[in-house]
Chain A
Amino acid sequence: MPIIKNISDDGKLVTIKVQGIFNIGLYQDFSAAYKDNLLPGTKYILDLEETDGIDSSALGMLLLLRERAGGDNANISIINVNQSLSKIFQVSNFHRLFSIKTK
C-alpha cells in the first residue's frame, strides 16, 4: 500500500506517508486517508521520506487537502522532503501555502 496513514487517539493528528511515486494514481487512496478526519483543528503531517517522485497532479491533490482542511487555516506540514522534491515545491512556490521541511 503506497499510502500509510496514522491517526492519533484523539483524532487531531493525521500522519500520511507516501511511498514511491506520488501522482494521480494515488488519488483515491490519498483522499481516503484524510476524508474521515477533517474536523477543525486537525493537524496533518505528510511524510515524504519514502517518496521517490511527485508530479503536478499530486501538487493538485495537496491543494485539495488544504482546501478541505480549512484553506488558509489548514495546518499541514510536509516533512522529510528531499532535495529534488524540494525543488519542485520551490518552483511552484508551495512554501507559501504549506509548511515544508527538508531533510
Chain B
Amino acid sequence: MDELTSLKIMIVDDDPTSRIILKSMLQREKIDVCLAFDGKMAIKVFNEEHPDIILMDVLMPLMNGYDATRIIKESAGDNLIPVIFLTALTDDDSLAKCVQAGGDDFMTKPYNPIILKSKIDAMERIRRLYATQKKQTDELRYYHQRMQREHAIAEKVYSGILYSGFLKVDNIKYILSPMAIFNGDLLLNVFKPYGKQIIMLGDFTGHGLSAAIGALPVSDIFNTMALKGFAINEIAAEINTKLKAILPTGMYLAACIVELDLQQERILYWNGGIPEALLVGKNGRIKTTLNSNHLPLGIVENDKIDFSPDILKIEENDRIYIYSDGIIEAANHEGKLFGTERLFDYFKEGADIENLFEDILKGVNQFRFGIGQSDDITMVEFTCSHGAASPDSEHHKNKVIMPENATLNWKITMELNPDMLRTMNLPTFLTGLLWATEVQGLQQHKTNIFIVLSELYTNALEHGILKLSSTLKKSPEGFLNYTLERKKALTTLNQGYIKANMELTQTKTGGKLTIYIEDSGDGFDFKKQAQLTVNENAMFGRGILILRSLCSELVFYGTGNKVEAVYVWQ
C-alpha cells in the first residue's frame, strides 16, 4: 500500500446501527469503507478488499471477533494490519483477550468520534512506518541475496581460473579461502626458466569485489612475465605501473615476491607491505625475517620505488612462511589478536617441521574458536626444494600449443662492442631467448644448442678478438695462464666487435636454428684446419670437432672470421 491510494477501513459488526454510524463517520473523513456482518464474513471481505485497518466487534454470530482477528493476522503474515476492537465489554479480562488475539487497540461503546478518529490516525501512522521499514528490509534482503549470488559466481571464476591450478606443487602448502580471495588476497606460483621458482603473495586494500578485481591484471602480468624469465624487479615494476594506472587512489596491493634459486642456494625477495615473512631452518627455528622495506604497489610512480630485490642465502629444505595480516589480526571472542608473538612461538628448536603449517592453522582456528572459520586467512609455506607440479596442475596446460601448419619464425641480429663483450654472456642470453619463446620440441636440444653457441662465441671472442693462442693450453698449467691472459685481455679491450645473427625456422615436426657469428679479428686458416686430424689428447682444437658433430652444417667464410652453423631438430 503506498501513499497515493487512500486509506481503506473494514468495519466488522453484526449490529446494523453501529455499522451505519461508523460508516458515515469514516466517510466524512474521506476514508474508504468495506463492511462485514460477522467473523466469517470478515475473513472473506479481508481477502477480497485488502483493507488497511480493521474495526472489529467482539461478540458476533458464526465467528467472534477474537477468532476472526487471529485468522486475519495470520494470513496477513509480515504485513501490519492494525485491528481496533470495538466492544461493549469493559472488564479487564475481555480487554486482555483482545490483545492476546492480536488486537492492536480497543474502544468501548458508545464511541466518541473524536477519540476513534485519533486512534485511527495513530494506527495509520504506525502502519505506514511499519510498511516503509518493511519495504526497506525487503530491499536489503534482496540486495544481500543478489550480492551473495554474485559473490558465489565470481568466487567460482576466481578460484577456478586464477588460483588453485598453479598452486598444486609439492613444495608449496597454502591456505587461500574463497573469502580471502574476496578480501583481495592472491597467491601465485610460476616455474621460471632455468629451474627457478617464483611465488607472490598479494593483499589488496579494502574488501569485497572491488578488492578482488585488481587480482586479474596482476596475476596476468605475473604469470606471463615470470614464465618468460623476467626478473623480480621487472615484474614488480610492471605490476606497479599497471596498478598505478588502473586503481583509484587509496587502493593498492601489498605484495611479497620470493624467487627460489636452488642452484645458487639463495632466494631473492621483494616485500612491500606484507608482514615480515619468515625463513625457517630445518630445525624449526627462524633464521631471519623478510621484512617489508618498500611501499606497496600502486601508490607511487615507478621512479619512487626501489624494486631491486634483497638476496638471502638458504640451504636446501629451508622453509619460507609468508602470510597476510589476516593471520596476526585473527581475533578471539575477547577481541584479543592472535599476534606476531603467538605465531613466532611455533618456530622453535625441535618443532614438528613437517606438520608446522597445519599446526599453525589449527592454532589460529582454536584461538578464535566460536568466532568462525579462518575465512580471511592467507598463508603459504614454500619449501626450498625442487618443486614438481602435480599432473593435474595448470602448469602442464601452460605450454604453447602450435596451431597446425603454423610456423613461428624469428631472427635476431646483435652487435657487441667491447663493453658489451665484458659484461654480457651471449650464449646464455640467446639460449634464454629460445627458452622464453617456448619453442616446441626444443627442450631436449637445449644443452646441445648451448654448447654450439658457446663454442662459436668462445672461438670468436678468445681467438678472434682477444687473439689468444690455443697453444697456451697445451699443458695443464697453461690452462691457468690462459684464463689469466683471457681476463687481462678482456679488461683492457678497447676495440673490436662480434656480430651475431640467430634465425629460428619452425616446422610442424621440428625446426632449424641458423647461427651466424662474425668477429673483427684476423680469422684463421680454416682450410688447413679442416684437414687436420686432431690428436685425442690435445687440449685444444676440440671446439671445431664438437661443432661438426652437433651441427648439420658448419661453414667458415672470409678469413675465417665468419662462421655459420645450422642446427636441425625433429
Chain A residues within 8 Å of B, Cβ to Cβ: 24, 56-57, 59-61, 63-64, 67, 90-94, 96-97
Contacts and interface: CB of A to CB of B under 8 A. Distances in A.
B65 interface: no
Contacts of A96: 295
Interface of B: 203, 205-207, 249-252, 254, 272-276, 292-296, 299-300, 325
A97 B250 contact: no
B295 A56 contact: no
Contacts of A57: 205-207, 250
A93 B251 contact: no
A91 B206 contact: no
Interface centre among A56, A64, A90, A97 (most CB of B within 10 A): A56
A60 B295 contact: no
Contacts of B205: 56-57, 59-60
Contact of A63 (B207, B252, B294): B252
B249 A64 contact: yes
A93 B250 contact: no
B458 to A, nearest CB: 46
B252 A93 contact: no
Given A57-B206, A91-B292, A97-B295, 13 more contacts: A24-B207, A60-B205, A60-B251, A63-B252, A64-B249, A91-B254, A91-B273, A92-B292, A93-B272, A93-B293, A93-B296, A96-B295, A97-B299
Contacts of A64: 249-250
A56 B203 contact: yes
A60 B292 contact: no
B274 A91 contact: yes
Given A92-B296, A97-B295, A61 B250 contact: yes
B303 to A, nearest CB: 12
Contacts of B300: 97
Given A56-B205, A63-B299, A93 B249 contact: no
Please provide the 4 A-B residue pairs with the shortest distance between their CB atoms, ordered closest to farther.
A60-B250, A56-B205, A64-B250, A67-B249
A70 to B, nearest CB: 13
Nearest to A63: B250
29 contacts: A24-B206, A24-B207, A56-B203, A56-B206, A56-B325, A57-B205, A57-B207, A57-B250, A60-B206, A60-B249, A60-B251, A60-B252, A63-B249, A63-B250, A64-B249, A64-B250, A67-B249, A91-B254, A91-B275, A91-B276, A91-B292, A91-B325, A92-B292, A92-B295, A93-B272, A93-B294, A94-B295, A96-B295, A97-B300
Contacts of A24: 206-207
A84 to B, nearest CB: 9
Contacts of B250: 57, 60-61, 63-64
Contact of B254 (A63, A67, A90, A92): A92
A97 B273 CA distance: 13
A56 B202 CA distance: 13
Contacts of B203: 56
Contacts of B249: 60, 63-64, 67
A94 B276 CA distance: 15
A61 to B, nearest CB: 6
Contacts of B254: 56, 91-92
A23 to B, nearest CB: 10
A60 B272 CA distance: 15
Nearest to B298: A63
A93 B305 CA distance: 11
A93 B295 contact: yes
Interface centre among B207, B250, B274 (most CB of A within 10 A): B250
Contacts of B294: 93
A55 to B, nearest CB: 8
Contacts of A67: 249
A91 B252 CA distance: 14
B97 to A, nearest CB: 47
Interface centre among A57, A92, A96 (most CB of B within 10 A): A92
A90 B340 CA distance: 14
